[in-house]
Each structure stands twice: as C-alpha cells, then as structure tokens.
Amino acid sequence: MKISVYYTPESTPDDIAPDCAVVIDVLRATTTIATALNNGAKSVKAFSDLDLLFNESEKLSPSDRLRLGERGGKKVDFCDLGNSPLDCSSESVADKQLFISTTNGTRALQRVQSASLILTGAMINYSAVVEYLQQHQPETVWLVGSGWEGGYSLEDTVCAGAIAKELIDYNQPDLIGNDEVLASISLYQQWENKLVDLFRLSSHGQRLLRLHLVEDLEYCAQTNIISTLPIQKQKGLLVSN
C-alpha cells in the first residue's frame, strides 16, 4: 500500500487516480457525514453545486430527506440544516436521505471521483479508516485534505497524519508516496494530545469561533468516538460501510 497525502483537492494529480481516496474535512463536513450515518441516516449524497442539490432532493418528499448546506461556515437559506455535526442527532436524521453541500468537503469528494474506492475520514472515526485500509490493502491510497478554498488546513493535515502514522512502515520508504506524509505525521505527533488547542488556532477554527461554534470545534477534535466508516456506493452517494 503506497500512501500519499495531498493538503488540498487542487494539489492532487489530475492525470492519474488512486485505487482508494480518503477525503478529509475535519471541520466539519466529514465529521458531519460520519456522525449522520452513525445516527441512522440512510445515506448522504454530496454536491458541490447547490442548485443540483436542490433539484435532486426535490424528488423526495420532505419527510424522507434533509438538506444540509453550508457556505462560509453559515447555513444556506433553503436548507434544513447547516453543516454542524451536533445537528445530526438520531432524532433529526434517522431513516432520512441527506443531501449535503459545503464550501470545501463536497468539492474534495467531487475532485476524487475517478478513484475506484472513496472513503471519508475525520478525527472521530480515523481508526475505522485505518482498519479498512489494513484489511483491504489498496495498492495506492491518497489521503486528501479539503483545505479552505484551495488553501492549506491544519486540521485536515493532522488527521491525515493520524491515519498515515498507523499505515506506513519507515523500513519501506518506497511506500511513502510523498513528503507530505512525514510532514503530516510530524504535525500529528506534535499536537495529538491537544487537538482542540490546534483547532482553535487554525484559520477555519477561528472562523467557526467567530460564528460561536465552539461546541462544534470540541466535538470535531474528539478521536475515534465512532467506528462508522462512510464509503461511496455510487457517484457522490455515501453510506455506512
């Protein structure tokens, strides 16, 4: 298994595709997707375009669906919810089909559509990602951070580092796909016991704090509180593995 880390969707090569891509958006999209599926949502369909989300979700009756939309950290008007994992309780999501569009996470999912296998990872479920990869051994794996509008993000990189640390073997440098792998592991080892502090300092963390979303930040900084693994079943449609 050759592991590579890409800090942003834009930095992924566009002429090759991995066997498996793991999309990471710790604050907050992939945390929300895992939480919703863990709390009984039937599926989560991801869109980078809000109009497409609206038109496709219109095909279901309001009692069978939920629209989750976020831009700039804020809820999109026509959506039922924003992108807070704390809004995805079993009362609100159980047996519903979710339609989600966010600033970066769903764009990252779009970017890796040519991968044969797509998973999503966050701090709350990263061991589930590690276990799946160790069991299935895809030959090439990309850990793809969603970043912020093409820019680097600390929280996604630290999560990529947590996953990579469990997977790579320093005695096999040829399976370390790029330098970002060791850089992300180093960042994780530096901050693994104080993730909330790191998230508070991160640029998107500060954006969420300005929106008074400290509980979201604290929730997203927890590690392995669930074993739910979102996996893509068909284009953009994520279900619990």
Burial 106-132 (b: 16+ CB within 10 A, else e): bbbbbbbeebebbbbbbbbbbbbbbeb
By CB under 6 A, residue 156 contacts ligand MLT: no
233: helix, coil or strand? strand
Q: Which of 8, 48, 120, 146 binds ligand MLT (CB under 6 A)?
A: 146
Interface pattern 24-63 for ligand MLT (x via CB under 6 A):
-x-xxx----------------------------------
Q: Which of 18, 69, 73, 121 binds ligand MLT (CB under 6 A)?
A: 73
| List of E strands, 31-172 | 43-46, 65-71, 74-75, 97-101, 117-121, 140-145
By CB under 6 A, residue 202 contacts ligand MLT: no
Nearest one of 237, 241, 233 to 116, comparing CA atoms: 233
Structure tokens at 88: 């995805």
The residues pairing with 144 across neighbouring beta strands, listed in sequence order, are 6, 23
If the CB atoms of residues 104 and 232 are measured against ligand MLT, the closer one turns out to be: 104
Sites for ligand MLT among residues 84-143 (CB under 6 A): 102-105
Separation in Å, CA 117 to CA 23, 60, 81, 138, 236 = 11, 27, 28, 9, 12
Q: How far is the CB of 60 from ligand MLT (least distance, A)?
A: 23
Size of the site for ligand MLT (CB under 6 A): 13
By CB under 6 A, residue 70 contacts ligand MLT: yes
By CB under 6 A, residue 228 contacts ligand MLT: no
By CB under 6 A, residue 67 contacts ligand MLT: no
C-alpha radius of gyration, the chain, whole number: 17
Q: Report the distance separating Cα 240 and Cα 94, nearest Å.
A: 13
By CB under 6 A, residue 180 contacts ligand MLT: no
By CB under 6 A, residue 83 contacts ligand MLT: yes
- What is the contact surface with ligand MLT in residues (CB under 6 A)? 25, 27-29, 70, 73, 83, 102-105, 146, 208
